[in-house]
Amino acid sequence: MTLTPVGGAFPPITITIVLSIVPAGTAAPAQVSPTGLAFLATPGVSPQPQSFNISTFASTPLGYTATAASSPSWFSVSPRSGTINTSLSATIIVTPASAGLAAGVYPGTVTLTFSDSTTQTVTLALVVSSTGSATVSTTASASPRLRDSAAAACTASKLLPVFTTLPSGFNSTAAWPTPIIVQVVDDCGNAFNTGSVIVSFSSGDPPIGLLSIGSGNWAGTWVPQNSVAGFTVNADAQELPLIGSAQVTGQVFANPAVPIVFSGGLVSSGDYTSLPALGLLVSIFGTDLADGSAQNSSLPLPPELGTTSVFLSGGAQLPLLYVSSGQVNVLIPYEAAVNATHQLVVQRNNTISVPVTTAVFNAAPAILTRTGNGLGQGDIYVAAASGAETLADQNAPATAGDTVVIYCVGLGPVSPPVPSGNAAPLSPNSQAVAQVTVNFGGQTASPGFAGLTPGYSGLYQINVVVPSGITPGNQVPVTISAAGKTSAGAVYMAIK
């Protein structure tokens, strides 16, 4: 679903909505929310009760038993057992009895055992501050929020993160977006809203940084990539010298039907580091992106290869060059809005990936290389008067005064414009709108031509004369610049 703010001051926002359909007679894991509660108190005063909800979407009623555990015992739960009918929920109230406890931090758990033989754990933390007062309020969703903090006279020594949306014993599915919220307080009862909270996964998924949303709550979305049983998720909070961590365990089930785009898996095909830009050939890395390998062999580039399509914000289908299970190569259209947030989605058959947020820039110049990875000998050729081209390597180095052709990507918009995915015309040539320069070993030159290569889509070339004053060598570094951006990577050519 796309939300478009009125007035045009802000870009559209895409929200992912996931519908899980459980077959009749199939048990579905219980949903617990929140999965952690933090209680703040002062000596002699017990904090107010809080609650969490258990819901089920199974086609049969689900029974549960709640077991409280803490040392010393400082809370009770009610009700301790019950049955939840399908599509309904039950509220469990946690009542602290901590008036006799001294200042300190007291952990606790509520273990939920269900009739389908699964278990989940709700984590509790009681902070009894030596001075000051602190209260916790609950929203309609029973998510605790700090209102006041302990007095500054208490000196904090550590941070106390608590997972409030991911229980210990969780069950997730690969490619399904999973919200993570961690509430963090210090041992004086103060809400932690600065510093950092990083969530990491022993399953091999990349870590994610959470965003502070106020009242000590930090939020983010995790899209599981690897299906692993029995791994840990760690939340590490830090604002030196204060640190603290929390851990939950769970498993991720395989989901082979849904395409997954890896975190950081949307990069330039030229150097595999740059972000998307207008007219740039981009590689998308992930799993289950296509039913098989397919390479387009004609122009214009099609919007679909096999059963795979790629969409950018607004529903625009991107021209496709190549698809496989692990990689898809597309062309970013010239019509895309620049310097704005976009959502990219891969569709295979009737399944779609979780949207990937990306930006699109005017240009992202990158010289193509013989290795294909943006490093090493560049696709740089000495042009003869006959039209023949010879690779400028150690076997046929260029000299000052030679015209060389540099094949590249990412020079941005061209004039006259070419429809995205179409072959560039031979006449008139489509030249890059941005000013382009070339640097040979520290010597800068302006090209005679920089634009699209006739007969190709997304491929640019730069025709430039090699300047004098270059220190000769078989690995003279070469970079190109366009629209204020300079190509990355160690690309070289031979000059004598």
Structure token pair of residue 160: 């106390």
Structure token pair of residue 451: 């634009």
- Peptide linkage before 11 cis (omega within 30 of 0): no
Task: Indicate the residue among 297, 327, 360 that finishes a domain.
Answer: 360
Task: Indicate the residue among 198, 230, 253 that finishes a domain.
Answer: 253
Distance CA 58, CA 180 (A): 23
pLDDT of residue 85: 84
Distance CA 153, CA 140 (A): 33
Pairing of strands 376-377, 491-495: parallel
Evaluate whether residue 259 is within a structural domain.
Answer: no
Query: Is-contact 416 452, C-beta < 8 A?
Result: no
Query: Is-contact 339 302, C-beta < 8 A?
Result: no
CATH number at residue 152: 2.60.40.10
Residues in Cβ contact with 303 at an 8 Å cutoff, skipping those fewer than 6 apart: 309, 317, 318, 319, 320, 421
Model confidence pLDDT, tens digit, residues 133-167: 444 333 333 333 333 333 446 888 999 999 999 98
pLDDT of residue 151: 40
Q: State whether 351 and 410 are in the same domain.
A: no
pLDDT of residue 136: 39
Cα three-residue angle 175-179-183, rounded to 5 degrees: 150
Model confidence pLDDT, tens digit, residues 448-476: 999 999 999 999 999 999 999 999 999 99
Number of domains comprising the chain: 3
Task: Indicate the residue among 298, 326, 360 that finishes a domain.
Answer: 360
pLDDT of residue 140: 31
pLDDT of residue 475: 97
pLDDT of residue 11: 62
pLDDT of residue 28: 67
Distance CA 331, CA 269 (A): 10
| DSSP category for residue 143 | -
Residues in Cβ contact with 117 at an 8 Å cutoff, skipping those fewer than 6 apart: none
Q: State whether 237 and 200 are in the same domain.
A: yes
Q: State whether 123 and 224 are in the same domain.
A: yes
Model confidence pLDDT, tens digit, residues 88-123: 889 999 999 988 899 889 999 999 999 988 899 999
Evaluate whether residue 258 is within a structural domain.
Answer: no
Q: Which domain holds residue 329?
A: 264-360
Amino acid at 106: Y
pLDDT of residue 164: 94
List of the chain residues with pLDDT < 50? 133-152
Q: What is the DSSP string of 27-69?
A: ----EEE-SEEEEEE-TT-PPPPEEEEEE---SS-EEEEEEEE
Which among 287, 123, 327 has a CA at the least distance from the CA of 204?
287
The SS3 of residue 314 is helix
